[in-house]
Structure 1
Amino acid sequence: MDERILVVDDEKDICEILGFNLSNEGYRVDTATSAEEALRKLTPEHALILLDVMMGGMSGYKMAEKLRHDGNRIPIIFLTAKDTENDMLTGFSVGGDDYIPKPFSIKEVVARVKAVLKRSAGQSAGPGQREGRLVFGDVTIDFDTKEVIIGPHAIPLTRTEFDILTTLASNPARVFSREDLIDRIWKDAPFVTERTVDVHITRLRKKLGAKASLISSRPGYGYRFNYTEE
């Protein structure tokens, strides 16, 4: 493997530890100790960012928000000492692909990096690999642009949100348990919990706005795509 990773953390020791261990896994690693430095160092060659949340100056959330606003879809894994549901919601809402609380194990970081990169490369099986579109009335799911189009408006989704939506929409008669979704969407990530699924569903519904009811929950069972032709 030869993917290039940018590690951003204001603690130099963490940068060095992650850099050393990821290099041993075969990755090319660059480090930065601030978001401002990271933005200067970031290049199109980078395949993923490991991004600390709490830093002096620009926070990790603000950096991610800026990248997404500028149209940069590079996968981002947040590293943070904060581990509440609201913090996870914030991380995913600004375009994060994963969220690792501190203190973390190196094995966990490596596993999550591999899983996110694999999803990013489109190697994992799933409905998002197919070309074309799914159309439900005035809602279109575009596999090429990875967007959901509601009427005239295109809504960009994170990679994980898009995978969840296409999994549900491609099987509208089926109720997916949280475990089912973890097996499909996070197949190679060993540390994902059912709460993570709920957080992503919450963010996805918020982005769908008036069409949030397309994703319905079955208490005790899971989630399904809920569309009825008018």
Structure 2
Amino acid sequence: MPLRGDGSPARLLVVDDEESLADLLVEALSFQGYDVTAARSGTEALASLEKVRPDLVILDVNMPGLDGFGVADRMRASGDETPIIFLTARTAPSDLRDGFGSGGDDYLMKPFRLEELSLRVSAVLRRTIGKESPSTRGGDTVAVADLILDLSAHQVTRDGKTIDLSPTEFRLLRYLAANTGRVVSKSELLRQVWGYDFDTESSLAETYVFYLRRKLDKLGPRLIHTVRGVGYMLRPPQA
């Protein structure tokens, strides 16, 4: 189990208005050694963030009042980059894709296996807990056509215009850019970007590529291309 920098257990905040599920998750994750707090609503979740300072939020989407996407939007607007795993019963791709505008790191469709959630929690924490933003030599940049990634500042511009990306979107784009001209499979992205070294049927990579592509394509010709049945490739526009 990933530990905090001071050796204490990672702190998780579970947010779900379904009491029985929230209690089950608290019990299961506490048994694994995590320090787990539950919130029953979006409003309670925002208050708990200040008190708990969690390392990861497990956030139900479908809550009355302030839903999970709304909570995530407020977190990101305030500069809170705590990783989020969404729990959702929504199945429409547009619902999921729109939700990732809130900066979620992953999502699980209900019903899900506790083992699957546990694996994903561990993978996210291994990547994020106790670590500052990855350090790189000052001034390091990657350029593909008019797309420029400033690795030290974690900033992206295209045609001179800044593109607002979540930390996960930045990691995805950085990996694709580092492999410009090469087809990268979905399983490779899950392994290299999300740290998933286990088999999963997650459509996470597809969802994030869709969202990232939508942001990039607003400012110029398509850069991220789908190679059907294989994966994705980032390359400069063809002349």
Classify the TM-score, shorter chain. Answer: 0.7 to 0.9
Where does residue 227 of structure 1 map in the other structure?
236
SS at match of 1:42: helix
Q: Which residue of 1 aligns with 2:46?
A: 39
- 5 Å-filtered alignment, 1:1-230, equals 1=3, 2-43=9-50, 45-121=53-129, 130-131=136-137, 132-188=140-196, 190=198, 192-193=200-201, 195-208=203-216, 209-211=218-220, 213-227=222-236
Identity score, percent = 36
Question: Is residue 137–residue 229 contact of structure 1 (8 Å, CA) maintained in 2?
Answer: no
Contact 2:12 2:35 in 1 (8 A): yes
CA distance in 2, matches of 1:27, 1:145: 32
Cα deviation, residue 45, structure 1: 2.8
Instruction: Describe the shift of the 1:141–1:207 C-alpha distance in structure 2 as closer, same or farther (beyond 3 A).
Output: same
Preserved CA contact (<8 Å) 1:7 1:30: yes
TM-score, normalization by structure 1: 0.86
Provide the aligned C-alpha RMSD in A.
2.5
Structure 1 unaligned spans of 5+: none
- The code of the aligned residue for 1:17 comes to L
Report Cα offsets for 1:21-46 as digits up to 9, x if no partner: 11122211111100101101103731
Residues 218 and 50 of structure 1: CA distance in aligned 2, closer, same or farther (over 3 Å): same
Between 1:101-110 and 1:219-228, the stretch displaced more is 219-228
One-letter amino acid of the structure 2 residue matched with residue 13 of structure 1: S
Instruction: Report the residue type matching 2:227 in the other structure.
Output: R
Quote the offset at 1:190 in angstroms. Answer: 3.5
Give the secondary-structure state (helix, strand or coil) at the position aligned to 1:96: coil
Measure, in 2, the Cα distance between the counterparts of 1:122 and 1:141: 25
Q: Which amino acid aligns with 1:30?
A: T
- 1:62 Cα deviation after fit: 1.0
Q: CA deviation at 1:20?
A: 1.3
Q: 1:102 to 1:90 in 2, by over 3 A?
A: same
Cα contact 1:186–1:192 (8 A) shared by 2: no
Offset of 1:205 from its aligned partner? Answer: 0.7
